[in-house]
Amino acid sequence: MTALLTTNLGATPLIGRGKVRDLYAVSSAGQDALLLVATDRISAFDHVLGTGIPGKGKVLTQISLFWFDLLADLVPNHLITADVRRFPAALQPFADQLEGRSMLVKRANMFPVECVVRGYLAGSGWKEYRTSGTVCGIPLPSGLLDGSRLPEPLFTPSTKSQDGAHDENISFAAVEAEVGAADAAQLRTLTLEIYRKAARHAESCGLILADTKFEFGRTAEGIILADEVLTPDSSRFWEGAAWKPGGAQPSFDKQFVRDYLESIQWNKQAPAPSLPDEVVERTQAKYLEAFRRLTGRELNL
């Protein structure tokens, strides 16, 4: 199976290419819409790597669709359809590129913040805690370890990078200043409610949802959930049975990729290196396992 690194949809207007997704402008039922296509590109340390993970875009899309359905009672989302047969006629010649990895979605005015929620101490949160006893400036009890469960989930928003640079943590007051107090409060409430429901589901599958991030937008109907949701790219999922605070936890994400890049002492500057076959295969297997565990279904790539 070959990784799809770049899509080409002919005359369909390309809005932009992110680290993973290609975004196109389309018209659906007379309304302006967007086509979100998840490629098999993979990024690490803020760089897109020279090698993709075959089928990764399909895994991400299908996991997002699962969560959109499960969370529909909490918040509406941007999905119009993921059935390629229902896409506009102009897209039908490209069905082989789009099948399983694309979503036709509503246009929304996106909020300029990443809505991050942390239920456990990990990553940059752990690094900050070791230095100051805080996470994103929020004081925490002493004595916590790398991987410890937090007393309660924390809303720790960040900037939303527009140029591939690293997102920076910001205070809730900064979110209020950016979007207004009422919207900031609603974003925080939605983020925490979604996290709690998702964490309960993950726990029922033997997984821990350590942290994740969401993107929200506004349409005429109000605030909606957009982009990808609760995937191994946007979230830390840990193996529940193996959880032991005090170090790195077995995870369902691109940790194999990060570990390899650290082992070759890459300076984290462009150009990004390619990956050996073993790292590609082990990473693909982790993504597929996450899908199976969370959805209870098999995904045939």
Q: Look at residue 200 in the predicted model and tell me its pLDDT.
A: 98
Q: Where are the domains positioned within the chain? A: 14-107, 110-254
Q: Residues 21-39: what's their mean pLDDT?
A: 92
Q: So what's the architecture of 110-254 in CATH? A: 2-Layer Sandwich (3.30)
Residue 29 has pLDDT above 80, yes or no: no
DSSP labels, the chain: ---------TTSPEEEE-SSEEEEEEEETTEEEEEEEE-S--EETTEE-SS--TTHHHHHHHHHHHHHHHTTTT--BSEEE--GGGS-GGGGGGHHHHTTTEEEEE--EE-SEEEEEEEE--HHHHHHHHHHSEETTEE--TT--TTPEEEEEEE--EE--SSSPPP-B--HHHHHHHH-HHHHHHHHHHHHHHHHHHHHHHHHTTEEEEEEEEEEEEETTEEEEES--S-TTTEEEEEGGG--SSS---BSSSHHHHHHHHHTT--S-SSPPP--HHHHHHHHHHHHHHHHHHHS-----
Q: Does residue 121 contact residue 145 with C-beta atoms inside 8 Å?
A: yes
Q: Residues 245-257: what's their mean pLDDT?
A: 91
Q: What is the pTM of this model?
A: 0.95
Provide the CATH topology of domain 14-107. Answer: Phosphorylase Kinase; domain 1 (3.30.200)
Q: Which of 24-38, 51-65, 225-239 has the lowest mean pLDDT?
A: 24-38
Q: Look at residue 160 in the predicted model and tell me its pLDDT.
A: 81
Tell me the average pLDDT of the chain: 94
Residue 293 has pLDDT above 70, yes or no: yes
Quick: pLDDT tens for 65-106. Answer: 999 999 999 999 999 999 999 999 999 999 999 999 999 999
**Which has more confidence, 111 or 221?**
111
Q: Residues 229-258: what's their mean pLDDT?
A: 94
Q: Look at residue 164 in the predicted model and tell me its pLDDT.
A: 53
Q: Residue 45: which pLDDT band, with cuts at 50, 70 and 90?
A: confident
Residue 112 has pLDDT above 70, yes or no: yes
Q: Residues 274-280: what's their mean pLDDT?
A: 95
Quick: pLDDT tens for 165-222. Answer: 567 889 999 999 999 999 999 999 999 999 999 999 999 999 999 999 999 999 998 9
Quick: pLDDT tens for 9-28. Answer: 999 999 999 999 999 999 87
Q: What are the beta bridge partners of residue 154?
A: 118
Quick: pLDDT tens for 129-166. Answer: 999 999 999 999 999 999 999 999 999 999 886 655 56
